[in-house]
Amino acid sequence: MASTRNDFASVWSLYLWIGIAVAVLVLAAVLFAVVRYRARPGRAPSRRAEANLLEVGVAIVILAIVALLVFRTFHTEAKEDDSSAAGAVRIRVDAFQWGWKFTYPGQGVTVIGNSDREPNFAVPAGRTVSFALTSSDVIHAMWIPGQKFKKDAIPGRVNHFDMEFGGRGREQGLCSEFCGLRHSNMRFGVWVLSDASYERWLAAHR
């Protein structure tokens, strides 16, 4: 399991290029029809209503494109949802109105904060971190823009996912699902630390 940071970039550009190709084809076909078959004196409209072979061909091409996009999307999504490698750092995340609670099971460490005081939790750089995300009231979403990652926090359901954090420093995180009055202040921070600093951080928060 490697960093998921750029996984969706290739899926996105695939969608983009297929979208551009389809747009160009459709516009070209419309332009062709407008120019080639425009009204001219002495021309009657064609009485032809269908072209079965062509229509079947187009349907097959569309199905193939859809199948490719569905496969690529779910393939990438499955990698993202993969959890979890042995020896991964485990963190349970509880979202609530309007804050976050981060618990390290078996470590005796819990960090909690709200819209007045945003919580900061820590992860070791370069190691797999396995998250279990849920909500205690309404639907929230955990978003770490620097990691290009977002996942819903749904009451009564636990979402599992793995992440690997690269460079050291602080990543800003926030709630990205409108969840009430103080939604915009529902933020958190992630300290990405070296192994030694991470252990010290854990010890200091016990």
For the bound state, the minimum distance from the C-beta of residue 95 to Cu ion, rounded and expressed in Å, comes to 6
Question: Smaller CB distance to Cu ion: residue 103 or 128?
Answer: 103
Binding mask 107-136 for Cu ion (x = CB under 5 A): ------------------------------
Using the contact rule CB under 5 A, the part of the chain among 36-44, 78-86, 120-128, 173-181 near Cu ion is: 173-181
**Distances in Å between the alpha carbon of 43 and those of 124, 128, 175?**
75, 70, 62
Q: Does 175 bind Cu ion (CB under 5 A)?
A: yes
Site size toward Cu ion, by CB under 5 A: 4
* Least distance to Cu ion, CB of residue 169, Å: 24
Report, in Å, the least distance between residue 157 CB and Cu ion. Answer: 15
The torsion angles phi and psi of 47, rounded to 5 degrees, stand at -95, 5
Write out the two tokens for 136.
């205690």
Site stretch for Cu ion (CB under 5 A), options 31-39, 61-69, 186-194, 195-203 = 186-194
Q: Which alpha helices (DSSP H) does 97-194 contain, by range?
A: none
- Sheet with 128-135: strands ordered across: 109-114, 99-104, 89-96, 128-135, 159-164
Task: Find out whether 138 and 154 touch, Cβ atoms under 8 Å.
Answer: no
Both tokens assigned to 4: 């998921």
Site of interaction with Cu ion (CB under 5 A): 140, 175, 179, 186
